[in-house]
Amino acid sequence: MKCRVCKAPAVIDVRRHNAAFCPDHFVTHCRDQVRRAIHDHDMMNPEDRVVVAVSGGKDSLALWDLLVDLGYHPDGVYLGLGIGDYSDDSADHARAYATEHDVTLHEIDLATEQGFTIPAAAAATHRAPCGACGLSKRHLLNRFALDHGYDTVATGHNLDDEAAVLLGNVLRWDTDYLARQHPVLPSAPGFARRIKPLVRLGERESAAYCVIRGIDYQVDECPMAAGNRHLYYKDVLNTLEQRSPGTKAAFLHGFLDHAHDRFTDHPDGDDPSAQLGRCAECGAPTTTEVCAFCRLQVRAAPRP
């Protein structure tokens, strides 16, 4: 196996591109994919104030590293979810990266700042933990960005994640979610812009990128995610990809290029958040009197 660019021995093949790369050219490949995603979806400008949602895993650390290399100046924010050793270990990886690369990492702690953890929320709601987890991440990272003057929150969702979410949304024809499934969710009153610059990179690539760049990341998967439907959808897509490399990318990018628009009711420029009210507790945009996060907090946080 030889590098497509320089013919030196390759260390990784990327079958959907029908290519293999040496370490240096693999890093170039990753940068090119992220640069292209940012450009194609008009995600941000170099002067934007961007904060990366850093979990300590391969995707978010690769994203942070790639954005800095591409000339952006993102800070990072780590949200402690209170998932035992897994969270402690994840935080250590995020902090180590920040120290080693001399970049700014902010930290939010669910237990001390909001009075509950994800395991407590799962127990209180009798629901899968990932629901409370996703809701808390979206809410708190958005609030953090708004409170600290960041224009944009960048997350490490990769091609595999997005294709699995798309498969789930298509299987249920969840048209609201399909309308919102996009690598850029523009800012609106009460919402910072959200972007996913890794949509053109698979998780195998973000892991290899970290290894080649010497980035030490949390290798364990979240212990609370076992049984999560998305993991099953990922397996299904991996089986298809094995038989026919490029399937995942064609599925996701075909949707974004040809179908996504058909699910959005409002023409470009129309602001869907205009009809939203404000949460009586925290002021976040919501369709109900009290937002979903504040309702979760009431159920999950032990009362004094």
| Residue ranges in contact with ligand FES by CB under 6 A | 81, 118, 129-130, 133, 222, 224-225
| Pick 86 or 177: Cβ nearer ligand FES | 86
| Pick 221 or 289: Cβ nearer ligand FES | 221
What's the N-to-C CA distance of the chain in angstroms? 63
| Pick 2 or 73: Cβ nearer Zn ion | 2
> Interaction with Zn ion in 282-301: which residues (CB under 5 A)?
282, 284, 291, 294
How far is the C-alpha of 251 from the C-alpha of 230, rounded, in Å?
A: 16
3-state SS assignment for residue 230? helix
Structure tokens at 262: 């058909």
For residue 82, the minimal CB distance to Zn ion (Å) is 20
For residue 228, the minimal CB distance to Zn ion (Å) is 26
Residue 27 site contact among Zn ion, ligand FES, none (CB < 5 to 8 Å, cut-off depends on kind): none
| Pick 23 or 57: Cβ nearer ligand FES | 57
For residue 80, the minimal CB distance to Zn ion (Å) is 20
For residue 264, the minimal CB distance to Zn ion (Å) is 26
**CA-angle at 196, arms to 192 and 198, nearest 5°:** 155
For residue 24, the minimal CB distance to Zn ion (Å) is 6
Residue 231 touches Zn ion, criterion: CB under 5 A: no
The amino acid present at 17, given as its one-letter code, is H
Residue 6 touches Zn ion, criterion: CB under 5 A: yes
Residue 20 makes CB contacts below 8 A (sequence gap 6+) with 1, 2, 3, 4, 10, 12, 13, 14
Residue 118 site contact among Zn ion, ligand FES, none (CB < 5 to 8 Å, cut-off depends on kind): ligand FES
Residue that the structure tokens 């298509």 belong to? 170
Residue 279 site contact among Zn ion, ligand FES, none (CB < 5 to 8 Å, cut-off depends on kind): Zn ion
| Pick 124 or 225: Cβ nearer Zn ion | 124
DSSP state of 191: B
For residue 142, the minimal CB distance to Zn ion (Å) is 11
Of 15, 41, 40, 11, nearest to 26 by C-alpha is 11
| Pick 43 or 292: Cβ nearer Zn ion | 292
Of 82, 169, 168, nearest to 117 by C-alpha is 82
Contacts 24+ apart (CB under 8 A), 8-14: 11/208, 11/212, 12/204, 12/205, 12/208, 14/202, 14/205
Residue 279 touches Zn ion, criterion: CB under 5 A: yes
| Pick 20 or 110: Cβ nearer ligand FES | 110
> Interaction with Zn ion in 14-53: which residues (CB under 5 A)?
22, 25
Element (H, E) at 70: none
Query: Where are any strands of DSSP class E within 70-199?
Result: 75-80, 105-109, 152-154, 184-185, 193-195
Which chain residues interact with Zn ion by CB under 5 A? 3, 5-6, 8, 22, 25, 279, 281-282, 284, 291, 294
